[in-house]
Structure 1
Amino acid sequence: MNEPQPPTTATELPDGAVRLLDADGTLQEDTRFTPYLADLDEAALQQMYRLMATERRVDSEGTSLQRQGQLALWVPAIGQEGAQAGALSALHDSDWIFPTYREHLFALGRGVTPGQLFELFRGAAHAGWTAEDHRLQPYTLVLAAQTLHATGYAWGIQRDQAGWDADRLKREGQIALACFGDGASSEGDVHESMVFAASFNLPVVFFCQNNQWAISVPASTQTRVPLAQRAAGYGFEGVTVDGNDPLAMYAVTAWAAEQARTGAGPVLVEAHTFRVGAHTTADDPTKYRTRDEEAAWAGVDPMARLEKYLRATGAAGADPDAFFADVAAEGERLAAQSREAVLAMTGDAIAPLEAVFDTVYAEPHPLVAEEKAWHRQWQAGFADAAEATDAADATDEGSRA
C-alpha cells in the first residue's frame, strides 16, 4: 500500500476540497456551491461575523474562569468559529443539532446564554438549557454517542414526514445535524450511524470538524484519506470543505441540508479546520504541536478572512469601523455576563450533587438507585475521615496541654 504523502504546508487542503473565500478575503467562483450564497444578504453576513467574534470572546473567558478555579473544565473552540458559523447559518430554525462538547457557537447562535453554557462546565447542571427550546441537544461527553442520537432522531423525522411532497419537504422539512470530530471518527458509533442512515436514506447531515488533532494524535494517524471519502463506502456523498472559510461552509452545508431535507439521503461534510488552543484546559498542546504549525494556521484565521470580505464588499455597512467596534463591545458585555453568571452559581443556586441521580430517567431505575446509594456511602466516608481527623487533633491538643 502506498504511504500517504505529507502536505507541503500545514494548511494545505485535500484534493477536491471546497474553498470560496481566499485568505485575503477574495471570493472565488464555484459553479456547484456559489449559487447557495445568494441567500446571504448583508444582515446575514454581519450576523455570521458577530457570532464568530462574540463566541471567541466568551470562549477565551471560559479558559480564564477555569484557570481561576471557577469551572471544572473548559473545552476551547477558538479557530473553529468559521466552520460552526457557516454551518449554523445554513440550517433552518426547525432543524435539530446534536453537538459534541465544543459547539459553543451553535449554542450561542441558538439562543443559549453564556451562563447556561457554563453551567455544565461548572458542574451545576446536566445541561444549562432545555433542548426543545433551542433545537439543540445537550452537550455529549461520551465520544461519538451523539451521532447515534442524531441518526435515531432523523429516522423519527422521516417517519413523521412520510408522504410529504418534494416542495413541502424543501420548505418545511427538518433535518438532524450530527456533529463530531476527527478523533471521534474512529469510534464505532460513527460507523454504525452512517450504516443505518444510508440503509434508510435518513435526513441527517454528518458534520465533522477535522481540527487536525484528536487530543495529541494527528489526523494523519486517524485516517490515510480525507475523512469525507469514507462516505462513499456507505453509499452517500461526502465533501471536504475549507473549514476556515465561513462562506464555503455555508454553501456546502446549505447544499447538504437540501439533499437530506428533500429525500436525497445523508451527506458527510468534513470541515478542514484547526483547534488553536488546547483540546481542553487539562491539555498542553505544546507537548505535541509545533509553533510553526500554529503560525501557519493563524494566517488563515476565519474571522480575519470574513472581516476582509465584509470590508471589501461593503457588507459591514456604511461605517465598517463602527460595526466592528460594536461587535467587540458586545463580546466584552457577554464575557462580563458570563463571569457574573458563573460567580453566582453558589449555594442554593446549585442543586445538590445527589439530585443528579433523580433526573437521569423520568421513572425510577434500579441501576441508578444503586449508584445513588453508592454515592451516599462514598460521601459518608469523607465525613468519617473528617471526624477521625478532628478526634486526632483533639487528642494531640490534649497531650500538649
Structure 2
Amino acid sequence: MRALRSSGTVLAVASGCVVTGVFALVFFAGAYGLRSEFFSRKFFTDLLYTPTLIDDVLLGNGHLGDWFFWPTPQIFTEIPLYLPIHLLPLSQEWATLAYSAFQGVYTLCLCFWLVRVIAERPLPTPRVLVLLSGFSAIFLTHVDVSVYLPFYHYSSFLFGLVFLGALLVLRTVASWQRTALILVAMAVAGGLVGSSDFLFVAWILLPIAFIAVFCVLFMRGIRIKSMGVIVTVVAAIVLARIFWSMLEFKMDPVRYTRTGTELLDRLLSDPLGFSKAMALYVWIFIKAQYVNPYRGLAFTMFVLSAIPLSFAPLCRQLGWLDAESQLRLRDFSFIALVVVALNVFGFSHHDQQPERYMIAANYMPVIYVIVVLT
C-alpha cells in the first residue's frame, strides 16, 4: 500500500513537471516570436545592466554605492527572479527569452498556490496544472507584452500576488502566533519589495490597507486582524523608505513622480474637471481591455463573476465548495475588485505613459479568471 502511494506521488510530480515544462515552452515560443520587436525597440533595457550588476555586486567584490539607479535597483524584485537564469551560460538574447519562460512559470506557480489556498483541500496536482496551463495560454499570453519582458514592474506584481494570497490565509487562521508571524513577514517583505519598486506601494499595499479599513468598519469578527494588517502596511511603507534611504546614489521617488502633490491640488481647485478626467481615463481603461477577444473575454468574465461572488449569499449557492472555500472565494473576489478599481482610479491622473503603470489593473482580472475557472 505504501509502495502504491509512493509511486502515485512520483507519478503526480512527474506529470506536474511535464505540464509545467510544456507551458514554459509555450511562453518561450511566444517570446521568441516577439524577439525582433524586443531587441529592435530596446524593450529589454532592464537586462542591459542587471547581469552586470549581479556579477559585480552579488557575485563579485563590487559595491552597490558605485551604481546609479533611477530610482532604485531591483534587488528584491527582478533580480531574485532573474538570478537562476543568470547562473546559466546563456547570451543576453537567450537569457531574455529564458526569463520570459520563467516569468510564465512563476505566474503559473502562484496561480496554483492561490487555487490551493482557496480550495483548502488536497487537489489532483496534474489536473489542476493542466487547467491552469490551458487557461493561462488562452488569457495570460494575450494581455500585453509585459509578461514576456524582463520588466521589474511585472516581477513586483508577482510578489503582490503573494501578499494577496496571504490575506486569504489570514482570514481563516485561528492561531494568533501564526497570524503574528504572517503579519511580520508581510511587513518585512513589503519593505524590501517596496524599496526596490515604489509602485508596489500603490499597486498592492494601499489596496490592502483599504480592504483592512473596510473590514474594521463593517466586519466585526476580524477587526483585530484588520487593525494588525493596517499596522503591517504602515510598517512596510516605513521600512521601504528606510531601506531605500540606505542607497548611496538614488533619485527621490517623491520628487521625480509625475503627480506629487499636484493630484490633490487639482482635486481641490477643480473637482468637476478632476472627476471628468478620471471618468475619461476609466473609459480608456475599459476600451483597452477589449483590444483582442481573449483579453476582452477575460475582463468580461471578471466583472460578471467577481462582483456577484463578492457577496456571501451568492457564494453560498456554490454547493460543491465547503464553507471555508466559499468564504475565501468571496474574499478573493472582493480583493481583486479593490485592487483593479484603486489602481485604475489611482493612476487615472498619471500623465506619463499611464498604460505602463497599469500592470496590476491589467493582469489582476486575468489572474482572477484563471484561478476561479480552475
Normalised by the size of structure 2, how large is the TM-score?
A: 0.30
- Between structure 1 and structure 2, the one with the greater Rg is 1
* Structure with more contact order per residue of length (Cα contacts < 8 Å, sep ≥ 6): 1
Q: Counting helix residues as a fraction of each chain, which structure ranks higher?
A: 2
